[in-house]
Structure 1
Amino acid sequence: MATSTTAVDAPADVPAPGRRPRGWRGLPVIRQLRQSVGLQRGMLVAGLVLTGIFLVTAIFAPLLAPFEYSQLRDPSGAFGAQQAPSSDHWLGTTVGGYDVLSRVIWGTRTALYVIVAAVLMSIVIGVLLGLVAGYFGGWLDRVLVVVADAIYAFPSLLLAIVVGIVLNGGESSLRGGIMAAALSITVIFVPQYLRVVRAETVRIKAEAYVESARVIGASHWRIMSRHVFRNATRTLPLILTLNASEAILTLAGLGFLGFGIEPTAAAEWGYDLQKSLSDVTSGIWWTSLFPGLAIVLVVLGLTLVGESLNDLADPRLRTRRRGPVTPADVGETSVVPGSPSADTAYLDGKGPA
């Protein structure tokens, strides 16, 4: 009579093969964090920490900044220009008499505003045009692709400067400056989303389930919104993180060249760097070091998150954790009396021979 041993139950927190973990463990970033190991995990954690610090600083800027971004004096008197770091001004003051620490902290909020506005507009416009171009094809597809290629032919920063000048003449208030910078960046990012979504849409519309939906009489809008959209936009979170870092660099470039936001309207790192150029040759290092360091750290954090998510999304680049191999736990093992397996099972205490 054959005797069988049942596989040992897996731990409750380990998902079944081929299934995604449920609950908070299934969230996009958490899932990739649990998949990562070694250097990949270190890069992702470092990027998340830097990005988290940036977001927390931007949200709580009024509480963290000791002064307003345009404040020049307090009850004790004027701050003074180019003051070295001290107990009153931890990071010193600028050539215009502003507190460097306050300008750096308030600059995170300006950068976050531009990132949110630019990325949201880019995604909405780019995804919509990509779906239409890839699904319907024809002359509309060719026109959109040609326009996207024409935009790619222009240097991104030069194109942003032209758009900024057209919108506000290069100088603006906080709201006008943010919208000008966001629209400038949107013009650059829309072709990226258009090309990615269009390529995925062309591939997906030839799948069997799309053909089946078309045969049963589903409308084009239903097919695009229910079947094509979800599958064509799976890689957008990866592009979003990388474009967020590019948005900060573009915003800083506009401010550095004098086409950004006025200092009395908002704090902006690129503008502060441009005003501190003459300080560097005079040995005044604090007015340029900290705004530049803020740009580097924020861009580094967003880039690390984007590159790590990109590696983990590609099975060829993902490093999988090896679990312990226990032959006795694999499936059901049938033991036939008198066989070598039966003798081994008996000696191991797993069943009678």
Structure 2
Amino acid sequence: MARTSLWARLPIVHQYRQSVGLQRGMLAAGLVICAIFLLTALFAPLLAPYGFAQLADDDGSFGAQQAPNGEHLLGTTVGGFDVLSRVIWGSRTALMVIVVSVVLSIFVGILLGVVSGYLGGWLDRVLVVICDAIYAFPTLLLAIVTAIVISGGQSSLFGGVFAAAISITVVFIPQYFRVIRAETVRIKAEAYVESAKVLGASTWRIMIRHVLRNATRTLPLVFTLNSSEAILTLAGLGFLGFGIEPTAAAEWGYDLNRSIADVTSGIWWTSIFPGAAIVLVVLGITLVGESLNDLADPRLRARRRAAAQTPADATAATTVTAREELGEAL
């Protein structure tokens, strides 16, 4: 049997090859939207016609609330900013917050989850109570309180990104903690963990080499779902006035807040495009997350393959899926 190429074993490529039918279409659509979002954020200085806080060019000031035209393809805001430029630069702000918040929450959540689930005892009970108490608070309310404590409500680009990321991290840590702790409790009862103990492996070696490696398989699913929630939380903070200052960075939630009065006056372009950016990015990340979640279930993969193939191939598809499930267990 030929070995699978390295390209085919990459996480997203592997899941895409497993998908069939509508599931493959959803995953492909989500990946395309996410790719556009990433490219827009990375190349924002090249794609944006103006700066995010630019109010004039060589021909003079832009003017407030201009309808879409040749110079401003998506019009201008009530403050005189170019809408297209603000939307493009806003993708970079969103990406920065996603990366910082999710990386911090993954690091802290995994560490606490593995330690709590493996060691148990009074430390486990204390951490569970603390995380459950944090998890009981409304997400946006907790983020608002944390943002006010860290930055006083508004800040510069890096200060605002850090404040928003920390506030979102506080919300996400209990989610990662619950997932990793549950997997750790299950894994530490496996035979290979008991064998490692008998062979004299230290506690930290078992936690890192055996438990951690197997407990983090579901993290890509949680990562995608939390990325979309991070965008919504950032937009909520900006909409309520607790985000980044408009002269420090472009932020979609703040632009929506400033366009509230425009809607009643028939000025639609100042709100449609920032809102559409939020919806599309969240939709793309959610499609990827839900598709990966479905593909992680071997039984669901078997049913989809059987439905997509001829009856003669259904038995072979089920056998292949059973082998995959056995391989994942090992």
Task: Give the alignment's TM-score, normalised by structure 2.
Answer: 0.92
Alignment of 1:1-353 (within 5 A): 21-318=4-301, 319-320=304-305, 322=309, 325=312
Runs of 5+ consecutive residues of structure 1 not aligned to the other structure? 1-9, 16-20, 330-353
Deviation, structure 1 residue 317: 2.2
SS, match of residue 290 in structure 2: helix
SS, match of residue 39 in structure 2: helix
SS, match of residue 161 in structure 1: helix
Deviation, structure 1 residue 322: 3.3
Task: State the aligned residue count.
Answer: 310
| Paired amino acid for 1:232 | A
Runs of 5+ consecutive residues of structure 2 not aligned to the other structure? 317-330
| Paired amino acid for 1:205 | K
Deviation, structure 1 residue 216: 1.1
Distance 1:323 1:28, change over 3 A: farther
Q: Which runs of 4+ in 1 moved over 4 A?
A: 323-326
Task: Please provide the CA RMSD for this pair.
Answer: 1.4
Query: In structure 1, how many angstroms separate the alpha carbons of the residues matched to 2:245 and 2:271?
Result: 18
Identify the structure with bigger relative contact order (alpha carbons < 8 Å, sequence gap 6+). Answer: 1
| Paired amino acid for 2:277 | A
Question: 1:242-264 CA deviation, whole Å, 9 max, x = no partner?
Answer: 00000000000000000000000
Deviation, structure 1 residue 136: 0.2
Query: In structure 2, how many angstroms separate the alpha carbons of the residues matched to 1:252 and 1:245?
Result: 11
| Paired amino acid for 1:120 | V
Deviation, structure 1 residue 153: 1.1
SS, match of residue 284 in structure 1: coil
Task: Give the alignment's TM-score, normalised by structure 1.
Answer: 0.86
| Paired amino acid for 2:108 | I
For the pair shown, which has the larger CA radius of gyration, 1 or 2? 1
Deviation, structure 1 residue 22: 3.2
| Paired amino acid for 1:289 | I
Q: Identity of paired residues, percent?
A: 74
Query: In structure 2, how many angstroms separate the alpha carbons of the residues matched to 1:128 and 1:22?
Result: 33
SS, match of residue 300 in structure 2: coil
Question: 1:284-318 CA deviation, whole Å, 9 max, x = no partner?
Answer: 00000000000000000000000000000112322
Deviation, structure 1 residue 325: 4.9
| Paired amino acid for 1:178 | V
| Paired amino acid for 1:158 | L
Query: In structure 2, how many angstroms separate the alpha carbons of the residues matched to 1:315 and 1:136?
Result: 31
Deviation, structure 1 residue 166: 0.3
Deviation, structure 1 residue 324: 8.8
SS, match of residue 130 in structure 1: helix
Deviation, structure 1 residue 323: 7.0
The residue that corresponds to 1:332 in the other structure is: none
- Determine which structure has the larger helix proportion and give its number: 2
Query: In structure 1, how many angstroms separate the alpha carbons of the residues matched to 2:300 and 2:157?
Result: 42
SS, match of residue 126 in structure 1: helix
Query: In structure 1, how many angstroms separate the alpha carbons of the residues matched to 2:154 and 2:39?
Result: 28
Question: 1:158-195 CA deviation, whole Å, 9 max, x = no partner?
Answer: 00000000001101000110000000000000000001
